[in-house]
Amino acid sequence: MRIDPTIWPKLHGASTHFPMALTMAAALFDGLGFVWPKSSPRKAQFHAAGYYTIILGALGTFPAVLSGLFMTRGQLLGHDALRFHHLFVWPAFAGLVGLGVWRALANDKASSPRGFAVYLVVLFLTAALMAGAGYWGGELILNS
């Protein structure tokens, strides 16, 4: 059975925006939850939103990465814009999976304010890497 190769760019485009959007949403929700006053019930609500978005974002990276690998016929780095795309993608992928696992296991109950601050810094960094990966992904499409 031969799969139509044009399916992979379509699947990559369809799957890759979920982890990008969810990571940025998680950064926003958890950032707001971190600075929100403790007395407000909103704080817990923001953290709950951040919890689910980061876990869904981490799960969403797998179809995005796999479809991308099929699309580029197994290129881990490549050249030109594809290389820049991958230089952002791989650390973002590892970071997002790590964040998702940490958040799923530690959650809020187990994390100290200092531990959560470190988590937030890594989350913002990962969101920035995702934005870079998205930018270079766009460059690949627009310049092709």
Partner 1 sequence: MQFPLEMRALGWAVLVALLSLGSAWLAAISIKAMPSFGAAPTSSAGSSSEIAVSPKLVDQGRELFGMSCSECHGDDAHGDEGPDLHNLPISNARTAVTIKKGIKGEMPTFARKYDAAHIAALVSYLRSLR
Q: Is 138 in the site for partner 1 (CB under 8 A)?
A: no
Which residues contact residue 69 at a Cβ distance below 8 angstroms, ignoring those fewer than 6 apart?
75
Question: Cβ closer to partner 1: 40 or 118?
Answer: 118
Point out which span in 5-13, 24-32, 33-41, 47-55 binds partner 1 (CB under 8 A): 5-13
Nearest to 60 by CA among 128, 11, 9, 129: 11
Report whether 123 contacts 99 (CB < 8 A).
yes
Residue 24, classed as helix, strand or coil, is helix
* Eight-state DSSP code of residue 51: H
At its nearest, how many Å lie between partner 1 and the CB of residue 79?
6
Query: Which residue stretches of the chain are H helix?
Result: 7-35, 42-71, 80-106, 113-142
Question: Cβ closer to partner 1: 28 or 69?
Answer: 69
When binding is defined by CB under 8 A, the residue of 18, 70, 124, 135 that contacts partner 1 is: 70
Q: Is 97 in the site for partner 1 (CB under 8 A)?
A: yes
Residues in contact with partner 1 by CB under 8 A are 2-3, 5-6, 9, 61-62, 65-66, 69-70, 72-76, 78-80, 82, 90, 93-95, 97-99, 101-102, 105-106, 110-112, 115, 140, 143-144
